[in-house]
């Protein structure tokens, strides 16, 4: 017999969750209208880039040169582009590769193996990305929106609501800027070995925002990340798109020609709890989200991940591990694995991570049902860079106000 454990209900303390007219947690699917960021090469399809170059008065083949500078050499600096005609070069480059992200601050931990960037966008909106070196891979956690409209009470990003969607190029530029830093030897202890040719190998859409609520721009960004001739040329399986469970968008994603890795942030196997924990569950229930995840596997052959933040006495009961295992097994075998994540505390949160023994028992029960389960290590807690901790603090806003928006490059 399982010892009786309390059931803590989601409630917020220290901040107030925004509500809609019916008194339910507010969901924002549409991006508030704000001035659009300047159009950048990475927003455009290859043929559109050529057309724009011609519009700016140069022959179309110059597009290819810009792609090489930006995606291979990680530069937007016209002074380094000596293969372009000197006359009008600055204006031309500013028109194709306008500056998008101004670095406000950079925080490091793990002896420099984890770096959090705070970026200011053209309109002053703030976003973060987190770069992590692991043995044999380098992962970048990117943001897809400034803020987030999904209002999950345990995640810091949602507390301030959605500021706006990011453009495809604003998403891609996070990768290019990280690659530039790596090429300069800025990630981890160089040990005198140099980092020749090293770059980001894995991208997770687990920074700020709900990627599937910004679908078209996220897909354009993914295309650029994976394009071997006109983009960064990464492997699609190294890119993970994570969602709270926007079911129609999951089904659309399954029909794309790019088989990215798919992750569903489930966090509760029962609608009763998930309704409170993940407000979007009022639209699409646990069963529908799991059916869509299973369909993603069938369509792409890619095993999907279930994310599950373990929150003490809230969603970490043994019976919930059993129920999760049963619901996954009911949809077949070998199609899914579970990633429990110890909850990272957010400002104003009364919730904490599960006790170690409870966490181990949760994993054990899933494994007993034949579900591959890997506890995810979260990096960067010391710098508020871990899952769910990305938010523009007042301190960040002050630092941003003191930072001038970069001129060209």
Cα three-residue angle 37-150-347, rounded to 5 degrees: 95
d(C-alpha 295, C-alpha 163), whole Å:
32
Determine if 119 is a binding residue for ligand SAH (CB under 6 A).
Answer: no
Give min distance, CB of 161 to ligand SAH, in A. 14
User: CB of residue 13 vs ligand SAH: minimum separation in angstroms?
Assistant: 14
Q: Would the annotation count 242 as a binding residue?
A: yes
- From 84, 343, 363, 392, residue interacting with ligand SAH (rule: CB under 6 A): 343
Residues in 144-173 at the binding interface with ligand SAH, rule: CB under 6 A: 150, 154-155
What is the CA 88 to chain-centroid distance, rounded? 37
**49-108 residues near ligand SAH, rule: CB under 6 A:** none
- Cα–Cα distance between 37 and 34 in angstroms, integer? 9
Q: Catalytic: 387? A: yes
Positive or negative, the CA dihedral 112, 108, 142, 13 is: positive
Residue with tokens 């599950």: 308
- Nearest residue (CB) to ligand SAH, 79 versus 350: 350
Would residue 141 show up in a list of annotated catalytic residues for this protein?
A: no
Residues 349 to 388: which contact ligand SAH by CB under 6 A? Answer: 387-388
First to last CA, the chain: 64
206 is a contact residue toward ligand SAH (CB under 6 A): yes
Pairwise CA distance, residues 305 & 204, whole Å: 12
CA distances from 88 to 43, 64, 92, 218 (A): 23, 18, 6, 32
Pick between residue 303 and residue 409 the one whose CB is nearest to ligand SAH. Answer: 303
Tell me if 141 is assigned to a ligand binding site: no
Which among 128, 141, 170, 307 is annotated as catalytic?
128
CA atoms within 13 A on the CB side of 267: 29
| Distance in Å, CB of 305 to ligand SAH, minimum | 9
**Residues 67, 141, 170, 387: which is the catalytic one?**
387
Q: Which stretch binds ligand SAH (CB under 6 A): 58-66, 75-83, 296-304, 341-349?
A: 341-349
> Residue 152 Cβ, how far from ligand SAH at the closest point, in Å?
6
Q: Which of 75, 226, 242, 300 binds ligand SAH (CB under 6 A)?
A: 242
* Contact between 119 and 131 (Cβ < 8 Å): no
Using the rule CB under 6 A, give the single segment among 8-16, 85-93, 250-258, 337-345 that binds ligand SAH. Answer: 337-345
User: Length of the chain, please?
Assistant: 409
Binder among 165, 243, 300, 373 for ligand SAH (CB under 6 A): 243
Partners of 137 in the beta sheet? 134
3-state secondary structure of 114: strand
User: Which parts of 303-354 fold into alpha helices (H)?
Assistant: 318-329
Q: Is 148 annotated as a binding residue?
A: yes
Q: Is 152 annotated as a binding residue?
A: yes
Enter the DSSP assignment of 306.
E
Using CB under 6 A, count the residues that bind ligand SAH.
17
- Identify the sign of the CA torsion 200, 202, 207, 213: positive
Q: Does 344 bind ligand SAH (CB under 6 A)?
A: yes
Query: Which residues have a catalytic role annotated?
Result: 128, 387
Residues that bind ligand SAH (CB under 6 A): 150, 154-155, 206, 210, 242-244, 265, 307, 309, 341, 343-344, 346, 387-388
């Amino acid at each position: 017999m399982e010892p009786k454990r309390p059931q803590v209900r989601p409630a917020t303390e220290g901040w107030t969750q925004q509500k809609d007219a019916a008194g339910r947690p507010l969901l924002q699917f549409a991006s508030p209208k704000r001035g659009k960021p300047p159009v950048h090469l990475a927003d455009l399809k290859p043929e559109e880039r050529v057309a724009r170059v011609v519009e700016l008065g140069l022959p179309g083949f110059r597009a290819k040169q810009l792609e090489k500078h930006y995606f291979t050499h990680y530069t937007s600096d016209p002074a380094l582009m000596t293969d372009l005609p000197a006359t009008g070069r600055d204006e031309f480059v500013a028109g194709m590769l306008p500056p998008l992200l101004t670095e406000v601050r950079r925080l490091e931990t793990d002896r420099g193996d984890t770096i959090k960037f705070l970026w200011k966008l053209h309109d002053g909106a703030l976003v973060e990305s987190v770069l992590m070196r692991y043995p044999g891979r380098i992962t970048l956690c990117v943001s897809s929106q400034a803020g987030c409209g999904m209002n999950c009470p345990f995640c810091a990003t949602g507390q301030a609501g959605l500021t706006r969607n990011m453009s495809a190029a604003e998403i891609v530029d996070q990768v290019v800027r990280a690659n530039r830093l790596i090429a300069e030897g800025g990630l981890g202890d160089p040990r005198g070995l140099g980092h020749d040719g090293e770059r980001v190998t894995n991208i997770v859409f687990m920074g700020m925002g709900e990627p599937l609520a910004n679908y078209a721009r996220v897909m354009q960004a993914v295309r650029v990340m994976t394009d071997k001739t006109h983009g960064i040329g990464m492997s699609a399986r190294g890119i993970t798109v994570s969602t709270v469970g926007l079911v129609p968008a999951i089904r659309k994603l399954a029909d794309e020609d790019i088989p990215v890795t798919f992750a569903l942030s489930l966090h509760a196997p029962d609608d009763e709890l998930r309704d409170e924990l993940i407000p979007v569950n009022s639209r699409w229930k646990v069963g529908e989200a799991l059916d869509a995840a299973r369909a993603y596997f069938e369509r792409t052959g890619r095993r999907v991940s279930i994310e599950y933040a373990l929150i003490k006495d809230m969603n970490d009961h043994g019976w919930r591990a059993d129920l999760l295992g049963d619901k996954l097994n009911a949809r077949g075998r070998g199609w899914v694995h579970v990633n429990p994540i110890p909850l990272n505390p957010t400002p104003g949160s009364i919730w904490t991570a599960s006790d170690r023994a409870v966490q181990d028992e949760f994993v054990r029960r899933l494994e007993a049902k034949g579900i591959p389960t890997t506890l995810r290590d979260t990096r960067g807690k010391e710098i508020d860079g871990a899952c769910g901790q990305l938010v523009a603090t007042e301190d960040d806003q002050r630092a941003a106000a003191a930072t001038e928006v970069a001129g060209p490059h």
